Chain A
């Protein structure tokens, strides 16, 4: 067993510096690496590029890094829930690249899987394809999209073991598995960190080979963005 554990969030972020590109898992506020984001605020790293489906809300998730003006560029598919994001985008302080959600996922997966680029039909004929190579396969048009290059991938999983094997819960899985192994260093925070052997090898979602550092998150707020309920009759 190769042990991937680090003692703390502080230790997990050794090597993080200004001007880097980070991937961050999560869909909305679901499955985001809360403890790592809080530590990135403390570290005051600046001028960073973030690859993440969304940009958080004003006072949580990536919104915290935006508030402290740490982000230079966001690469996302949907960014609608954040007033500070809108202000910085309209004032030109923040550079934004919007991509189709499936393209975002596949550019992560390509980086992880050793593909330099992929062809996707998404965005063909739209402004997303401007300046990109296109090609016909069997009479249908596709857009060439390159694998991302990132310095760190920051991941939230439900359970993990010392070997870095991961299991996710519900829709908190989202972009997390495909970002594991897609950056130079993958750092994972988990709710439960278990000894090697405690997880059933048949039930592992991401094998530890894609993970360099794993630690137990101290606390999880798990904020709900849209609470919707069914009234009991």
Chain B
């Protein structure tokens, strides 16, 4: 079974040379730490920066340079700043190659819910709805089950949707899955996890091939 860092390491393998990548808050943010340094990759943050670098050294932080999580950041050579409409032109216009974000629920048809729990304080969707509505390559990073042990890979989302039919791939602590016409196709098992464990933790339709390899991380 993977921890959050394990999930981030597995997703980092999906990042290809020459990709512009948008990372959501939480596990997706960790992915940047595990992209091989020999790849040319630029990270976009929807508040208006392309070419994000690591956090600044103490004393070098600049209140005018932050990421979408409102954290102080730095920029790398080749970076650029731009306004919010241009930022979402990059996203909506499909210029960003890969979007990695978290989710509360994913349905077998690719619907995603990650912004609102009825009865709880609603903070807002931020850029998530724009990201999922347009990106052609969306990977969801999440735990396979919630804190009560219930599956987050469902026949149908119960929570209010963020987007419809948009998720292509899911990496959880148990498995790598692809959303296909008829459900979640199991591609890989996490180290030490059996297919039965994945079946038990998946409520939506699971499509299992004759052989499910263990992930290489």
Contacts and interface: CB of A to CB of B under 8 A. Distances in A.
Interface of A: 27-31, 53, 76-81, 86, 89-90, 98-106, 108-109, 120-128, 158, 168-178, 205, 222-232
A222 B84 contact: no
* Interface of A: prevailing SS: loop
Contacts of A105: 83-85, 87-88
Interface string B107-140: 0000100000000011111111110011000000
B125 A98 contact: yes
B64 A171 contact: yes
A172 to B, nearest CB: 4
Nearest to B127: A101
Size bracket of the B interface: 35 or more
A170 B72 contact: no
10 contacts: A30-B47, A78-B126, A98-B122, A102-B85, A102-B87, A103-B130, A124-B164, A170-B65, A170-B66, A178-B84
B124 A79 contact: yes
Contacts of B58: 229, 231-232
A126 B116 CA distance: 11
Interface stretch (B49-57, B173-181, B197-205): B49-57
Interface of B: 45-49, 54-58, 61-73, 81-85, 87-88, 91-92, 111, 121-130, 133-134, 160-164
Q: Indicate the member of B58, B122, B123, B124 with the most A CB atoms within 10 Å.
A: B124
A29 B69 CA distance: 12
A86 B121 contact: yes
Given A123-B133, A173-B83, A229-B56, A128 B125 contact: yes
A80 B160 contact: no
A101 B48 CA distance: 12
B85 A178 contact: yes
Contact of A122 (B54, B62, B84, B130): B130
Nearest to A112: B85
Given A80-B124, A158-B64, A229-B56, 5 more contacts: A78-B126, A102-B129, A173-B82, A178-B84, A229-B57
B133 A127 contact: no
B163 A30 contact: no
Given A77-B124, A101-B88, A223-B63, A123 B83 contact: no
B69 A122 contact: no
Q: Indicate the member of A79, A86, A178, A227 with the most B CB atoms within 10 Å.
A: A227
Nearest to A120: B92
